[in-house]
Amino acid sequence: MNKQLTVEQFVASLKSGMTIGIGGWGPRRKPMALVRAILRSDLTDLTIVTYGGPDVGMLCAAGKVKKLIFGFVSMDAIPLEPYFRKAREAGTLDILELDEGMLQWGLKAAAFRLPFLPTHVGIGTDVMTHGGFKTVQSPYDDGEVVLAMPPLKLDAALLHVHRADKLGNIQALGPDTYYDEWFARAADRTFVSAEEVVDRMDHSYPEDARANIVERCFIHGVVEAPLGAHPTSMPPSYGWDMKHLKAYAASAREDGGWDSWLAGTVGADEAGYLDRAGGKDAIAALPLPIF
């Protein structure tokens, strides 16, 4: 068993029209090398499910997204994602706007093969009215009416972690793994990019087994992508690249800004990308963000 893929093999295993979940949180620990592979591909009409950051803005700008299912889209220090805004204000995007907690609840419903999970969240708000959510009454004595959150079933999930092995064992270090585990469990297939791919985790990093956020039966492909979260943060290894994100955001204010960014920065290949983005040494030395 060897789940290791090249980035080309990864992108070739996706199809237009798929529903794809993306791990991470805003500008934190996003599988950006995998996202860039999609940007360079012919894939289109995707439904993207995520706690959005620059991944969403770039995929929208590149015309890859038919529908976006999101709890928020933000780059933290740059609160409003400029290309996401453009797509929304142009009215070109189908959306389902969720509460952050509803999103992970929908992933859990998918993971557990349930028709819905009950929640109070969304009731009384326009997230419920615009989203077309239905309610269900408790069959028990309280008879309470709750919102029925349907499953967010994913064709594929994309994650970025610190380490993977060829069997699909993964380790995510750092202080927070967000809802990556649930994206993987909600997906038919999960593709993980990693800073480092080893032959066998038990031979290399057995002492960090608690960082194995989801079991290998849920992992279908691993791709080695050093610095693959750039320009988002990857603690404890490297921080986000706010200078880069500011330049990206500024490109949205220029005519043809995205085309220039796609050609000049995303470019044709990942190895060249790291050079165009400042070089491996500079990226590896990016300080961790302070909150």
Partner 1 sequence: MTTAPEFTLCEQLIVAASEAWRGNGELVATGIGTAPRLAASLAKVTHTPELMMTDGEAFLVEEPVPLGPRGYDDRKAAGYLPFSRFFDAAVWSGKRHAMVTPSQIDRFGQTNISYLGGTYDQPKVQMLGARGFPGNSIYHINSMFVPAHSKRVFVEGEVDMVSSVGYNPARRLAGANFDRVDLRLIVTDLCVMDFGGADHEIRVIMLHPGVRFDQAQDATGFALTAAPEIRETPAPTVEQLAIIARFDPHNLRASVIKDNPAGKRN
Site residues (vs partner 1, CB under 8 A): 25, 52, 70-74, 79-80, 84-85, 88-91, 95, 97-102, 104-105, 120-130, 135, 137, 143-146, 175-179, 181, 287-288, 290-291
Q: Is the peptide bond before 236 cis (omega within 30 degrees of 0)?
A: yes
Token pair in block for residue 38? 């999609």
Between 146 and 284, CB nearer to partner 1:
146
Q: Name the pairing type of β-strands 170-171 and 154-165.
A: antiparallel
Helix (H, G, I), strand (E, B) or coil at 114: coil
Between 183 and 248, CB nearer to partner 1:
183
DSSP 201: H
State the minimum distance, in angstroms, from the CB of residue 8 to partner 1: 32
Distance CA 149, CA 97 (A): 13
Q: How many CA atoms lie within 13 A of 148 on its CB side?
A: 11
Between 6 and 137, CB nearer to partner 1:
137
Between 235 and 278, CB nearer to partner 1:
235
Distance CA 108, CA 152 (A): 8
Between 101 and 278, CB nearer to partner 1:
101
Backbone angles phi, psi at 53, to 5 degrees: -135, -140
State the minimum distance, in angstroms, from the CB of residue 18 to partner 1: 22
Between 63 and 124, CB nearer to partner 1:
124
State the minimum distance, in angstroms, from the CB of residue 214 to partner 1: 12
State the minimum distance, in angstroms, from the CB of residue 211 to partner 1: 13
State the minimum distance, in angstroms, from the CB of residue 276 to partner 1: 27
Residue 218: closest CA among 193, 194, 185: 185
Q: Is the dihedral of CA 15, 162, 285, 243 positive or negative?
A: positive
Q: Left (φ > 0), alpha (ψ -120 to 50) or beta: where does 185 sit?
A: alpha
State the minimum distance, in angstroms, from the CB of residue 222 to partner 1: 21
